[in-house]
Amino acid sequence: MKQIEIPSKKFLKQAAKDFLNFQKGNKFFVFYGDLGSGKTTFIQALCKELKVIDNVTSPSFSIINEYHTKDNKIIYHFDFYRVKYLDEVFDLGYEDYFYSDNYCFVEWPEKIGEILPEEIVQVKINVADNGRRMLEID
């Protein structure tokens, strides 16, 4: 397990850079953390490091957002917080996204645990009393 500490927002860029350098070859990431722990904020920093040209926002209501990079790659960002039934995910055609060989960033993966791919990187975001974030990467 690797850990990355993020003392404050001003350290996000470096944390995202370190995270991506550590993850060479991995493209499917699931993010665990409480509401407000910084999942979307960290994904925004990752997308910035990956040279996304689109506005990166939380897909809370759309479930999935698709972003494009400067070098014409695609990144998928999922938020399954509002999903009540797996049928909703099946209706999205999730397999086309999950197995596309594009980056996939998944918030609230516990809602769809039984259909996640086997090869994933799990990221747990813990928030300390002083507001620092600690990423635990497995």
Q: Distance between CA 44 and CA 50 in Å, rounded?
A: 10
In the numeric block, the tokens 């996000």 are attached to 12
Helix (H, G, I), strand (E, B) or coil at 42: helix
Q: Give the domain ranges of the chain.
A: 2-16+26-137
On the CB side of 53, how many CA atoms lie within 13 Å of its CA? 7
What pLDDT is stored for residue 1 in this prediction? 86
Per-residue model confidence as pLDDT tens digits over 50-90: 999 999 999 988 999 999 999 999 999 999 999 999 999 99
Instruction: Confirm or reject CATH 3.90.280.10 for domain 2-16+26-137, answering yes or no.
Output: no
Residue given tokens 């209501």 in the structure block: 61
| pTM for the structure as a whole | 0.95
